[in-house]
């Protein structure tokens, strides 16, 4: 009987594990905080000290405005095993104060009947006080009213508060939190600057209390500060934000060294990668070893694995939202680094102070700078061999007024290789010369212009004009000159070219509307025109005495499609304990006269189940109108992006996530436990042995369509966000299957990156102001691969007589019934790095030394069948190939 995806035992195991782990967690979480008994001995103590002591004893944060406390009040109080609420009532008696539990904190306020309060709006931006850089997703909370907000993607926030005393606490990871106390009589706008916490000491406890994961509705989201990513160990010392994301639970790298992202069972094409709001397609250099993102040019990066906000659409599995820096508005500054692979240089500063700023950042590798001269030298100047990649980011922003800002972001990056040679052949009776030139390149171009406008204190809008292009080109030319010789030798010029790519032009508008303190509405619309060139092949042969022969394939395969969507989402704080994010993403797509429409509901729910512990649930429906035709599943530049068409419907997914989020006392530690189930439909794949060249111009009919996928699992994440030592431990347990009618006999099979267990540990420790140590350790179950079970003579061996008993070539292998029937060995690796910083007269400098694969583990890259030539008699054996054994690296960075 045919097995279906849900018939698999692991699904039951998954549910069982989830309940087993979640149950004691939730039981623990239900302890009533105010009933806990305390022991206290106070003598003539100030109220601030009383609250601090209670905070320490109960681990419950106290919120109050110091101005509201009676200055001369002194408390003398003794108690033993008294419930907290009763003790507080006694302490506050005769002080004119009272208390109330708001959310997970105790708020102290004046007990005098307040006059009828009106509400006002407090809005503004949160910025880095030194550079003026916007801080995205910073927490802003009024400690008096308990109302809070998070800055949006442009650093903007808006809070509706009672017209009274306010105590606004602002917090952002790696920054010193700040609390502003003032009286609000009317709506006002303010830009709040935070200073970076260079000491990283555990002083930002209060910040941790408002930047709590159990208080946010969003689940399955991770943001790692760029500063932390820069300290992490990296392959060849090249800082890579995508590789940092791979160290999170539920995110896999795929193959060793790859900068691909496989999120919760998804493929490399199912990630919406946005750079300043513009979608990117292939985001890797050097065949996937490094991502295109230059960390020096970035402000923030976050990944969302599930519970997708309604504003995102077009991909099934994740959103990687990357924002470039805007440029220092205060002073000119620069930074750079020199590593084994590449050199990076950034410069940023004001053009008009406080109004206009820029950042220009570039990165380039230098392999070709050595290889080209060397090859020239070795071949007497007749040959060239070079490869390099580069990235160039430029961003300008200008503030017209407090209400209007514009941004212009550009990115261009490319990988380029060239092999060329020329030869002269002197051969009696003729002389001829040949010239060959082969060039391979791929890359991205991106331009986006954005206009932020503040319509009122409560309505923020952003309009973005988008242009993006991904290209892949493979060109070859050959030229022959024959000054003399027989008539059948001719001069000729031959050009063969293959190009593919995708071009996007679009316009989108996003609104953030804060109608009241417990609602935040986001809505907007987007229109995107895609032009796909799945494959264009040119053959041109030019003889001097004849008309040129020209042959073109795939030119008619260019496909234009229009994708548009509107969305609306309300983030509703129903009460201090319950919040809901509900939205709808409605998309339409038109190609070749066929239209697809899709309604994609998105819901997220949070309820506080105990002090510091929230239960969260999310449902996301996603539709993806593009596909990736890939041979290896690893995501190569030569893989072809193709649109959904009338014959190839779009991919769709539905994901359900359930989880618990817990913030430990003082907010320094956070942990989450999430379970998810995702199903995918409309997947495509090449048929057996096919490549795009075999299907050029006819790919829609020649591929496997209607594939299904299912992924489910459990993720645990424990993170220390503040202090001298930061880092996390992540664990994921997962199952991941695919099902195609024409593959594996139509039965489901494990996906190549079906990884049962995956553990990741990342630690950074600041020894002192000059030395920082970092390390990461990963351990994962082996990838699933297909290993043949038998072999036999082939037709080639028997009939065509190519045979050798001492080699395996020529045999046919017999595959078992199941695809991906073997697990490779467990993968584990330790990376270490140490950064030594020094203050100089002109700025800062640092040396970073690292070791990739520190204990030289030979991890499996792939398996193949070969001969064991070390044995007494050569025997057939299964062999493993490993890449990236112990690799030291060193790089030098500077800032001025």
Partner 1 sequence: MRQQPYFLILIVCTFFLYGCPSVIEVPLPPHEHKLVINSLLHPGTSIKIYVSHSVGILEDKGEKGTLVKNAKVTIFEDDISLGQLTYRDTIRWIHNSSRSVPWGFYHLPYAPKAGHTYRVEVVHDHYPTASATTKIPTFPHITHHRFAPYHLLNESGDPLHLLTLRVESDSFDRQKTFYQVTGDFAYTTDTGMPDDGKFYFSSLRQNDVFPRQEGVFFQTQDESLPRLYFLGIGNESQVPVNPPFEKAAFELRTCDSLYFAYILYFPNQQEAAFGDFQFFPQEIEELPTNVQGGYGLVTSYAGIRDSL
Contact between residue 22 and residue 660 where contact means Cβ atoms under 8 Å apart: yes
Instruction: List the interface residues with partner 1, window 374-393 (CB under 8 A).
Output: 385, 387
Tell the smallest beta-carbon distance from residue 760 to partner 1 (Å): 22
Residues 6+ apart with CB under 8 A from 485: 429, 430, 431, 432
The position carrying tokens 């470039």 is 324
Rounded CA gap, 127 and 312, in Å? 25
- 16 or 855: whose CB is closer to partner 1? 855
Secondary structure (H, E, C), 274-311: EECCEEECCCEEHHHCEECCCHHHEEEEEEECCCCCCC
How many residues in the shown chain lie near partner 1 by CB under 8 A? 98
Can you tell me which of 814, 839, 840, 843 binds partner 1, judged by CB under 8 A? 814
Cβ count near 816 (within 10 Å): 12
Provide φ and ψ at 4, rounded to 5°: -105, 165
For 25, residues 6+ apart whose C-beta sits below 8 A from its C-beta are: 613, 660, 662, 673
What residues between 607 and 626 interact with partner 1 by CB under 8 A? none
Of the listed pieces 3-11, 153-161, 486-494, 838-846, which binds partner 1 according to CB under 8 A? Answer: 486-494
Q: Which residues contact 374 (CB under 8 A, 6 or more apart)?
A: none
Closest approach of Cβ 471 to partner 1, in Å? Answer: 15
Is the Cβ of residue 140 or residue 557 nearer to partner 1 in the bound state?
Answer: 557
For residue 266, which phi and psi values (nearest 5 degrees)? -85, 175
Question: Which one of residues 553, 588, 607, 681 is an interface residue with partner 1 (CB under 8 A)?
Answer: 553
Question: What distance in Å separates the CA atoms of residue 659 and residue 15, rounded to the nearest whole number?
Answer: 12
- Minimum separation from the CB atom of position 886 to partner 1 (A): 10
Identify the three-state secondary structure at position 209: helix
Examine residue 822 and tell whether it contacts partner 1 (CB under 8 A): yes
Q: Which is nearer to partner 1, 15 or 541 (CB)?
A: 541
Q: Which of 7, 404, 424, 551 is close enough to bind partner 1 by CB under 8 A?
A: 551
Cα 476 from Cα 382, distance rounded (Å): 17
Any residues with CB less than 8 A from the CB of 379 and at least 6 apart, and which?
421
- C-beta of 171: minimal distance to partner 1 in Å? 42
Q: Provide the 8-state DSSP code for 895.
A: E
> Where in 264-323 is the site for partner 1 (CB under 8 A)?
286-287, 289
Contact track, partner 1, 189-228, x by CB under 8 A: ----------------------------------------
Cα(305)–Cα(677) distance, integer angstroms: 12
Q: How far is the CB of 501 from partner 1 (least distance, A)?
A: 15
Distance in angstroms between the alpha carbons of the first and the last residue of the chain: 69
Nearest-approach distance from CB 425 to partner 1, in angstroms: 6
3-state SS of 110-140 is ECCCCCCCCEEEEEEEEEECCCCCECCCCEE
Query: Contact 852/233 with Cβ under 8 angstroms?
Result: yes
- Residue in 232, 257, 227 with CA at minimum distance from that of residue 244: 232
Q: Does 546 bind partner 1 (CB under 8 A)?
A: no
Nearer to partner 1, 7 or 789 (CB): 789
Shortest Å, Cβ 888 to partner 1: 12
Q: Is 826 near partner 1 (CB under 8 A)? A: no
- The verdict on 681 binding partner 1 (CB under 8 A) reads no
Site string for partner 1, 356-375 (x = CB under 8 A): -----------x--------
| Cβ partners under 8 Å of residue 859, min gap 6 | 256, 825, 827, 828, 829, 853, 882, 883, 884
The span of 4-12, 399-407, 518-526, 857-865 binding partner 1 (CB under 8 A) equals 857-865
Q: Angle at CA 660, nearest 5°, toward 659 and 661?
A: 125
Asked if 467 and 446 count as a contact pair (C-beta separation under 8 A), the reply is yes
Per CB under 8 A, the segment of 24-32, 63-71, 161-169, 628-636 that binds partner 1 is 628-636
Q: Does 417 bind partner 1 (CB under 8 A)?
A: yes
345 scored as a contact of partner 1 (CB under 8 A): no
Among 5, 17, 773, 865, binds partner 1 (CB under 8 A): 865
Question: Using CB under 8 A, which of the segments 33-41, 97-105, 475-483, 512-520 binds partner 1?
Answer: 475-483
Told to check if 732 binds partner 1 by CB under 8 A, we report no
Nearest to 283 by CA among 221, 226, 241, 316: 241
Residues 420-459 that bind partner 1 (CB under 8 A): 423, 425, 427, 434, 436, 438, 440
Kindly state whether residue 116 participates in binding partner 1, applying the rule CB under 8 A: no
Interface with partner 1 by CB under 8 A: which range of 270-278, 670-678, 731-739, 818-826?
Answer: 818-826
Residue selected from 293, 498, 511, 565 as contacting partner 1 according to rule CB under 8 A: 498
The whole-angstrom separation of Cα 700 and Cα 267 is 20
Residue 614 burial by CB count (10 A; 0-12/13-18/19+): exposed, middle or buried?
Answer: buried
- Compare residues 387 and 892 and give the one whose CB is closer to partner 1: 387
Binding mask 782-811 for partner 1 (x = CB under 8 A): ---xxxxxxxxxxxxxxx-x-xxxxxxxx-
Least Cβ distance, residue 473 to partner 1 (angstroms): 11
Residue 882 interacts with partner 1 (CB under 8 A): yes or no? yes
Of 164 and 639, which has the nearer Cβ to partner 1?
A: 639
Residue 812 sits in the site that holds partner 1 (CB under 8 A): yes
Report the C-alpha gap between 885 and 236 in whole angstroms.
12
Minimum distance from residue 593 beta carbon to partner 1 (Å): 25
């Amino acid at each position: 009987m045919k097995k279906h995806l849900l018939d698999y035992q692991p699904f039951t195991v998954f549910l069982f594990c989830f309940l087993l782990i979640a149950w004691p967690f939730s039981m623990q979480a239900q302890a009533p905080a105010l009933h806990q008994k305390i022991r206290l001995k106070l003598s003539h103590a100030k109220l601030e000290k009383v609250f601090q002591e209670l905070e320490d004893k109960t681990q419950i944060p106290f919120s109050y405005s110091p101005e509201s406390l009676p200055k001369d009040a002194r408390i003398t109080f003794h108690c033993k095993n008294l419930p907290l609420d009763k003790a507080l009532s006694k302490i506050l008696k005769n002080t004119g104060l009272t208390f109330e539990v708001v959310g997970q904190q105790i708020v102290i306020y004046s007990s005098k009947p307040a006059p009828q309060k009106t509400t006002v709006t407090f809005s503004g931006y949160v910025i880095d006080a030194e550079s003026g850089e916007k801080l995205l997703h910073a927490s802003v909370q009024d400690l008096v009213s308990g109302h809070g907000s998070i800055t949006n993607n442009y650093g903007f926030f808006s809070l509706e508060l009672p017209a009274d005393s306010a105590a606004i606490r602002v917090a952002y990871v790696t920054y010193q939190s700040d609390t502003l106390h003032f009286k609000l009589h009317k709506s006002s706008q303010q830009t709040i600057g935070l200073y970076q916490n260079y000491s990283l000491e555990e002083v930002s406890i209060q910040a941790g209390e408002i930047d709590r994961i159990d208080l946010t509705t969003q689940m399955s989201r991770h943001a790692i500060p760029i500063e932390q990513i820069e300290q992490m160990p990296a392959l060849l010392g090249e800082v890579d934000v995508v590789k940092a994301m791979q160290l999170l639970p539920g995110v896999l790298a795929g193959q060793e060294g790859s900068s691909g992202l496989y999120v919760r069972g998804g493929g490399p094409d199912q990630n919406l990668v946005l750079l300043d709001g513009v979608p990117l397609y292939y985001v890797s250099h050097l065949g996937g070893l490094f991502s295109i993102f230059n960390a020096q040019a970035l402000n923030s990066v976050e990944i969302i694995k599930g519970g997708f906000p309604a504003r995102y659409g077009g991909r099934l599995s994740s959103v990687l939202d990357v924002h470039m820096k805007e440029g220092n508005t205060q002073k000119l500054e620069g930074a750079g680094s020199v590593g084994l692979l590449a050199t990076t240089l950034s410069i940023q500063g004001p053009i008009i102070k406080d109004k206009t700023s820029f950042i220009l950042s570039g990165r380039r590798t230098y392999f070709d700078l050595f290889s080209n001269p060397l090859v020239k030298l070795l071949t007497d100047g007749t040959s060239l061999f070079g490869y390099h990649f580069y990235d160039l980011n430029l961003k300008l922003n200008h503030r017209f007024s407090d209400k209007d800002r514009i941004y212009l972001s550009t990115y261009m990056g490319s990988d380029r290789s060239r092999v060329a040679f020329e030869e002269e052949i002197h051969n009696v009776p003729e002389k001829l010369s040949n010239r060959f030139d082969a060039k391979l390149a791929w890359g991205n171009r991106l331009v986006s212009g954005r206009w932020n406008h503040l319509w009122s204190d409560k309505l923020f809008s952003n309009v973005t004009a988008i242009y993006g292009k991904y290209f892949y080109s493979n060109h070859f030319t050959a030229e022959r000159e024959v000054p003399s010789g027989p008539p059948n030798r001719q001069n000729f010029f031959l050009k063969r070219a293959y190009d593919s790519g995708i071009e996007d032009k679009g316009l989108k508008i996003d609104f953030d509307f804060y109608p009241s303190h417990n609602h935040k509405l986001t809505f907007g619309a987007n229109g995107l025109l895609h032009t796909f060139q799945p494959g264009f092949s040119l053959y041109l042969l030019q003889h001097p005495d004849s008309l040129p022969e020209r042959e073109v394939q795939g030119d008619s395969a260019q496909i234009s499609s229009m994708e548009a969507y509107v969305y609306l989402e309300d983030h509703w704080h129903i009460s201090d304990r319950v919040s809901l994010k509900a939205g709808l993403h409605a998309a339409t797509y038109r190609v070749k006269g066929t239209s697809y429409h899709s309604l994609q509901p998105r819901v997220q729910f949070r309820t506080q189940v105990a002090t510091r512990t929230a239960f969260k649930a999310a449902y996301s429906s996603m539709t993806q109108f593009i596909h990736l035709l890939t041979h290896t599943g690893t995501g190569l530049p030569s893989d072809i992006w193709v649109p959904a068409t009338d014959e190839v419907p779009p991919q769709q997914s539905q994901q359900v996530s359930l989880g618990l989020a817990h913030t430990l006392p003082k907010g320094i530690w956070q942990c989450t436990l999430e379970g998810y189930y995702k199903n995918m439909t409309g997947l495509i794949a090449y048929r057996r042995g096919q490549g795009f060249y075999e299907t050029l111009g006819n790919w829609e009919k020649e591929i496997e369509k209607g594939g299904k996928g299912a992924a489910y699992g459990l993720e645990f994440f424990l993170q220390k966000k503040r202090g001298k030592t930061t880092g996390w431990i992540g664990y994921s347990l997962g199952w991941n299957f695919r099902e195609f009618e024409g593959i594996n006999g139509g039965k489901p099979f494990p996906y190549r990156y079906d990884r049962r267990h995956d553990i990741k540990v990342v630690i950074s420790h600041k020894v002192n102001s000059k030395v920082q140590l970092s390390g990461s350790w990963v351990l994962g179950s082996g990838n699933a691969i297909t290993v043949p079970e038998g072999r036999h003579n082939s037709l080639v061996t028997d009939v065509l007589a190519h045979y050798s008993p001492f080699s395996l070539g020529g045999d046919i292998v017999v595959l078992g019934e199941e695809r991906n029937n073997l697990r490779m060995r467990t993968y584990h690796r330790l990376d270490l790095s140490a950064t030594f910083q020094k203050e100089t007269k002109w700025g800062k400098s640092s040396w970073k030394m690292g070791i990739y694969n520190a204990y030289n583990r030979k991890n499996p890259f792939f398996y193949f069948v070969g001969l064991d030539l070390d044995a007494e008699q050569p025997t057939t054996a299964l062999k493993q190939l490993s890449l990236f054994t112990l690799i030291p690296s060193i790089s030098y960075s500077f800032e001025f």
